[in-house]
Amino acid sequence: MSIDAAAAATTPPGTTAAVQADGLTLRYGRKAALDGVTLTLGPGVTGLLGPNGAGKTTLLRILATALAPDTGSLRVLGHDPLTGPGRLAVRRRLGYLPQDPGFHPGFTAFEFVDYVAILKELTHRGDRHAEVRRVLSTVGLDDQRRTRIRALSGGMRQRVALAAALVGDPDLLILDEPTVGLDPQQRMRFRELFADLGEDRAVLLSTHQTEDVMSLCRQVVVIDQGTVRFTGTPAALAALADGRVWTSATREPRALASWRTGTGLHRHVGDPPPGAELLPPTIEDGYLMLVDLHGAS
């Protein structure tokens, strides 16, 4: 699916796109972290997939106004974050969860979120504390409000950071690998939460979990080596591997990916031999095809 067609399909007519990026580039020295990224994101949950070092975090940092691109144009929530007033307008409606959120470990969960709320200009003490209680309740941390962050588990810390991102009920949520390090039960809770949040705002999350994308994203973007490789629905990503996933009793060295499954049979992704027993593709198959095809080109 072409990028523009996918963008048109995911941004309902008459609504303002949450993000419109055109030709974003950013270099770290000689290395191009982003190389001409063009992207349009509508409401709902969008998943950003890509291998390590593909440029996902750099892209999210640019969209979150933490970094300015070298070149390219950008509109976030209708504002230009490359100008001072535009950047401030975006920041007032943005929730951002960094890849590795830092904490003042001596703070309680409440104190930390309260601190972030102050950074978000909630200066009235009563209103601010009510908002802090609301977001901690949203992420299910009612009973841990007064617990020091150093005493919380990794999953709970992640929830504290998410609560901080939710302060002020932002219109755009940018979440960098929010489910990393979580156990399956915690991931399920996060999925439920993201699905709820995505009902009335734009949520962009990067992840390595293709199940997360399949189960909750309305749009998926695949990025590799600083460029967008795919934009479309999760089903369209899976469809890239239509007719290119098959099973057999032996390993297939010519396949792009081939592994022995728990049933004892081998599963292959690539160009199947004539008469192969085809399998329905998953989103992961589509993703592997895309990244591997690129790597082979």
Break the chain down into helix, strand, coil percent, rounded to 5. 35, 25, 40
20-39: which residues touch other proteins (CB under 8 A)?
28
For residue 173, the one-letter residue type is L
Helix (H, G, I), strand (E, B) or coil at 110: helix
101 is a site residue for other proteins (CB under 8 A): yes
Identify residues 50-69 at the interface with other proteins (CB under 8 A). Answer: 61, 64-68
- Token pair of 85, please? 């007033």
Based on its alpha-carbon atoms, the radius of gyration of the chain, rounded to whole angstroms, reads 21
Q: How many residues bind other proteins (CB under 8 A)?
A: 48
| 48 or 117: CB nearest other proteins | 117
Phi, psi of 232 (to 5 degrees): 170, -165
DSSP H or E run through 171: none
Contact characters 239-278, other proteins, x per CB under 8 A? ----------------------------------------
Length of the chain: 297
| Region binding other proteins by CB under 8 A among candidate stretches 110-118, 222-230, 245-253, 267-275 | 110-118
Q: How many CB atoms are located within 10 Å of the residue 138 CB?
A: 17
Distance in Å, CB of 103 to other proteins, minimum? 5
Choose one: 9-17, 128-136, 240-248, 261-269; the region binding other proteins (CB under 8 A).
128-136
Structure tokens at 193: 């939460």
**Which member of 130, 151, 278, 293 binds other proteins (CB under 8 A)?**
130
What's the first-to-final CA gap in the chain, in angstroms? 19
Residues that bind other proteins (CB under 8 A): 28, 61, 64-68, 84, 87-88, 91-92, 94, 96, 98-105, 107-108, 110-111, 114-116, 118-123, 125-126, 128-130, 132-133, 145-146, 154, 157, 164, 181
